[in-house]
């Protein structure tokens, strides 16, 4: 298996633009997590899905952020409009069941200028 | 909700010495405690985990201990090597349905050759 796949790996955009981050979980994994990592705030859980259903989005910072999981093999995290303070590394992770290891993707480094 | 604290935030040791990182958690219902290692520019990767029915677990030079009564757990690395240099995250997770992992703020470990 290729592991969790994220695209793009790097994204540079201007303030006000829409940004879409993509994730493909490991096949057969039924949990998908979106994290944001910054020096100031560490590794924050934004939202997670179980069987494509959003379970907890309490970590989503504000209405500018939205996430979807239309099927078991694809999820998106969208920021509209983007702001410089959104600059961070965004990780997607997936897991099979409740008792197993959580695998992280390589991350997307987002820079908003 | 769960809150995980981690100390120290930075740790510098001489090669061959031991390193200890300590974490506390707030939710007594947490029963799974993974540790992740993140090398510079890379994704977090699981290195060891412990469940609440176990007090200690060892894997070669790495060991974790758990004190459920005091709600704290620790990572011990013996005979440290330069390749152990990384950021280490502790985490806690409840064992109920739709559980999520809460990460500590991380410890930056530097092993000096």
pLDDT in tens, B32-70: 999 999 999 999 999 999 988 888 999 999 999 999 999
Q: Is A10 on the interface with B (CB under 8 A)?
A: no
Residues 6+ apart with CB under 8 A from B90: B4, B6, B21, B23, B33, B34, B35, B73, B75, B103, B104
Work out whether strand A53-56 and strand A42-50 pair parallel, antiparallel, or are unpaired: antiparallel
The reply to whether B69 touches chain A by the CB within 8 Å rule is no
Residues of chain A with Cβ-Cβ distance to B34 below 8 Å are 101-102
B70 has a chain A CB within 8 A of its CB: no
Q: Give the pLDDT band (50/70/90) at residue A100.
A: confident
Percent of chain B with pLDDT strictly greater than 90 = 79
| pLDDT tens-digit map of A48-78 | 999 999 999 999 988 999 999 999 999 999 9
Q: How many CB pairs under 8 A join A and B?
A: 40
* A13 lies within 8 A of chain B by CB: no
Question: Residues with Cβ < 8 Å from A14, sequence gap 6 or more?
Answer: A82, A112, A113
C-alpha–C-alpha distance, residues B101 and A63, integer Å:
23
The residue among B25 and B1 whose pLDDT is bigger is B25
Q: Give how far B54 is from chain A: nearest CA, Å.
A: 15
Adjacent-strand bridge partners of A53:
A50
């Amino acid at each position: 298996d290729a592991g969790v796949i994220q695209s793009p790996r790097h994204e540079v955009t201007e303030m006000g633009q829409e940004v879409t981050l993509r994730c493909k979980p490991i096949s057969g994994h039924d949990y998908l997590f979106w994290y944001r990592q910054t020096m100031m705030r560490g590794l924050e859980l934004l939202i997670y899905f179980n069987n494509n259903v959003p379970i907890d989005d309490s970590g989503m910072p504000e209405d500018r952020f939205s996430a979807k999981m239309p099927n078991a093999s694809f999820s998106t995290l969208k920021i509209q409009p983007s702001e410089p303070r959104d600059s961070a590394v965004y990780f997607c992770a997936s897991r099979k069941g409740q008792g197993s290891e959580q695998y992280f993707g390589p991350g997307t480094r987002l820079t908003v200028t | 909700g769960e809150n995980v604290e981690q100390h120290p935030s930075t740790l510098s040791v001489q090669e061959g010495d031991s390193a200890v990182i300590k974490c506390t958690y707030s939710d007594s219902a947490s029963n799974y405690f993974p540790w992740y290692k993140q090398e510079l520019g890379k994704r977090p990767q699981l290195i060891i985990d412990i469940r609440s029915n176990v007090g200690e677990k060892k894997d070669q030079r790495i060991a974790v201990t758990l004190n459920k009564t005091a709600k704290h757990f620790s990572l011990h690395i013996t005979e440290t090597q330069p390749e152990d240099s990384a950021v280490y995250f502790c985490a806690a997770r409840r064992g109920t349905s739709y559980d999520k992992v809460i990460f500590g703020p991380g410890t930056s470990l530097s092993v000096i050759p």
